[in-house]
Amino acid sequence: MILTIRPEPGCTATVEGARAAGLAIEGHPLFDLHPRVWDAPPADTIDALLIGSANAVRHGGPGLYALRAKPVYAVGKATAVAAEAAGFTIAAVGSGDLQSLVDVIVPPLRLLRLTGAEHVPLAAPAGIEVETRVAYETTPLPLDRELADRLGEGALVLLHSAAAARHFALESDRCGVPRRTVAIAALAPRIAETAGQGWREARSASEPTEAALLALARDMCH
């Protein structure tokens, strides 16, 4: 069994992408995702938006749309597509890693980073100012007994974030899932590290993209 636990609508997107690539996969979200109220800074105090997830676009609300005239630096293709669909102009698209994107932005520039409650700290280069607002958060959900029993029979689990890795590890231990029966395919090395030790196998994608993660899953299945 291949399993993705990310919240919707990402869960369905991963399932559809994996099945299109010939993988037999199931989606069981272990998180609910919902917006948070946030206050946008005055438009004249920022030059562009820095967005690390399509979820920030989906849940940005009125504060985000008040800044629609600002160009967007998007972490990856899916985020850029969501921003364009919402009426934004894309200034640049990264390869899936927000820090790498920030490192190549030409200063001076004042950025508003729109992100989730759990996010990776950024080191802004000289001449780049980054102001952060939290637009959404996730609520972890319990691992149900039936799924836990199936995991004990053997599974490959896709992990898209450190929060997912941490929660899946805790829930697996709570439900008595033997780690030796579960393999982990992680979007990035830090995510695999967050999942901890003892899994049947734990590997990270060659780059932090959905395509690379699915390619890794295919390799691990064979």
Q: What is the pLDDT of residue 109?
A: 98
Residue ending a domain, among 104, 137, 170, is 137
Percent with pLDDT over 70 in the chain: 100
Same domain, 23 and 69: no
Range of the domain at 131: 34-137
Residue ending a domain, among 112, 137, 162, is 137
Same domain, 84 and 163: no
Same domain, 130 and 213: no
Same domain, 42 and 112: yes
Coil, strand or helix at 185: strand
Q: Which CATH number characterizes residue 196's domain?
A: 3.40.50.10090
Same domain, 40 and 57: yes
| Residue 133 reports pLDDT greater than 90 | yes
State the burial class of residue 143 (Cβ atoms within 10 Å of its Cβ: 0-12, 13-18, 19+).
Answer: buried
Report the relative pairing of strands 155-159 and 182-186 from DSSP bridges.
parallel
Same domain, 152 and 115: no
Q: What is the pLDDT of residue 202?
A: 98
Same domain, 115 and 59: yes
Q: What is the pLDDT of residue 222?
A: 83
Q: What is the pLDDT of residue 188?
A: 94
Same domain, 25 and 96: no
Same domain, 51 and 123: yes
Q: Can you tell me the distance from the alpha carbon of 12 to that of 184, in angstroms, rounded to the nearest whole number? A: 19
Same domain, 79 and 26: no
Express each pLDDT in 32-84 by its tens digit.
999 999 999 999 999 999 999 999 999 999 999 999 999 999 999 999 999 99
Same domain, 9 and 42: no
Residue ending a domain, among 137, 165, 183, is 137
Q: What is the pLDDT of residue 40?
A: 94
Residues 6+ apart with CB under 8 A from 144: none
Same domain, 97 and 43: yes
Which element (helix H / strand E) includes 116? strand 109-116
> How many domains does the chain contain in total?
2
